Amino acid sequence: MSIELRHFRCFLAIADTLSVTRAAERLHLTQPAVSRTLRQLEQQLGVRLVDRSTHHLALTPDGESFHDQAAIAVTAFDRALRQARHTGWPLRLGHAWSAAGTDTTALLRRWHEEHPDTPLELLRIDDRTAGLARGDVDAALLRGEVRTPGLRTEQLTCEPRVAGLPADDPLAHRAALSLTELADRTIALNIVSGTTTLDLWPPHARPSATLTIGNTDDWLAAITGGRAVGVTTSATAEMHPHPSMAYVPLTDAPPVPVVLAWRDAPGHPRIPDLIALAHEVMGPGPGRA
């Protein structure tokens, strides 16, 4: 037996849902068929990809390593089919939160005007590289330092950091704050795609209480619900205004670089055009670092 694309799709469905039952529903197969296909893949590769020793499925280290490569292979296959059928080749731009900030609309409209033959699809993916490393998108708008191997980046701008507070918090009406003034609070940390870690604070004044969350929506809910405060960039304040939320500038927190990232491999032919337009739209201007 040889490895086929169906084996990759089956593994990716299991990895994404961490459930044979949900994977079977997604693929419109029976649970035994999904389990059998996974076993065949593992036998052909000679490694165990999924740990089924507990009540909850988890990827093994080999499974984690294989996941991104399998996703890239499936995406490349699907794209080749679309091209062969002349269905067009959209340029998929990922982001984990806030996209291009207030420049998002201008970026999308300018692209549509200048490149009407290539749709630009903006996708929010809650992942450190917004789906870029695993092949879900062609390029991504990312914040902070990008350390993922195999990616190239181009810095577009920097965004100042702000504190996110409940609107009725005693500090919410201050003109500015320092990080140390938040040290005695519970800090909401987006451990999936955020740029804030406890290393942002001085060693002698690091917060002792944290609340870990996985996306911007949960971050906002934790703060507006009075469970925590947070640190983010000005783009969040611009893209997510909320009557129960206050954003206050931070005086001692370094700005966050915003970069356009793409894979260091043959990719979408319009990526150079996207880089050029992003520089035009998001380049340094009033109020930007």
Q: What is the pLDDT of residues 160-177, one digit of tens each?
A: 999 999 999 999 999 999
Give kind and range of the element (H or E) at residue 74: helix 61-84
Residue with the larger pLDDT of the pair 165 and 25: 165
For a pLDDT cut of 70, what percent of the chain falls above it? 93
Alpha-carbon gap, residue 174 to 170, rounded angstroms: 8
The answer for residues whose C-beta is within 8 angstroms of residue 50's C-beta and 6 or more apart is 11, 14, 15, 38, 42, 57, 58, 59, 60, 63
Residue 210, helix vs strand vs coil: strand
In which band, very low, low, confident or very high, does the pLDDT at 19 lie, cut at 50, 70 and 90?
confident
Question: Is the pLDDT score of 289 beyond 60?
Answer: no
pLDDT of residue 287: 39
Give kind and range of the element (H or E) at residue 105: helix 104-114
Give kind and range of the element (H or E) at residue 50: strand 50-51
Conformational region of residue 165, where left means phi above 0, alpha means psi within -120 to 50, and beta covers everything else: beta
What is the pLDDT averaged over residues 7-33? 88
Alpha-carbon gap, residue 11 to 23, rounded angstroms: 9
Question: Is the pLDDT score of 285 beyond 50?
Answer: no
The answer for residues whose C-beta is within 8 angstroms of residue 94's C-beta and 6 or more apart is 123, 124, 125, 127, 129, 130, 131, 132, 136, 137, 139, 140, 141
Q: What's the number of CA atoms in the CB half-sphere (13 Å) around residue 194?
A: 25
Q: What is the pLDDT of residues 76-123, one digit of tens each?
A: 777 766 665 545 579 999 999 999 999 999 999 999 999 998 999 999
Question: Is the pLDDT score of 52 beyond 60?
Answer: yes
Mean residue pLDDT across the chain: 90
- Domains of the chain from N-terminus onward: 5-84 (1.10.10.10), 91-156+258-282 (3.40.190.10), 161-249 (3.40.190.10)
What is the pLDDT averaged over residues 210-234? 95
pLDDT of residue 68: 83
**Tokens standing for residue 10:** 């089956």
Length of the chain, in residues = 289
pLDDT of residue 258: 97
Distance of CA 138 to the CA centre of its chain: 13
Question: Is the pLDDT score of 9 beyond 70?
Answer: yes
Task: Name the DSSP class of 151.
Answer: E
Residue 35, helix vs strand vs coil: helix
Alpha-carbon gap, residue 40 to 11, rounded angstroms: 11
Question: Is the pLDDT score of 141 beyond 70?
Answer: yes
Residue tagged 């020793």 (tokens): 53
Q: Which of 224, 229, 232 minimizes the C-alpha distance to 258? A: 232
Report the range of poorest mean pLDDT among 9-18, 71-80, 97-106.
71-80
pLDDT of residue 286: 38
Question: Is the pLDDT score of 198 beyond 80?
Answer: yes
pLDDT of residue 83: 61
Alpha-carbon gap, residue 200 to 202, rounded angstroms: 7
Q: DSSP readout, 226-241?
A: TS-BEEEEHHHHHH--
Helix, strand, coil percentages in the chain from 3-state DSSP, rounded to 5? 40, 20, 40
Report the range of poorest mean pLDDT among 59-63, 242-246, 272-276.
59-63
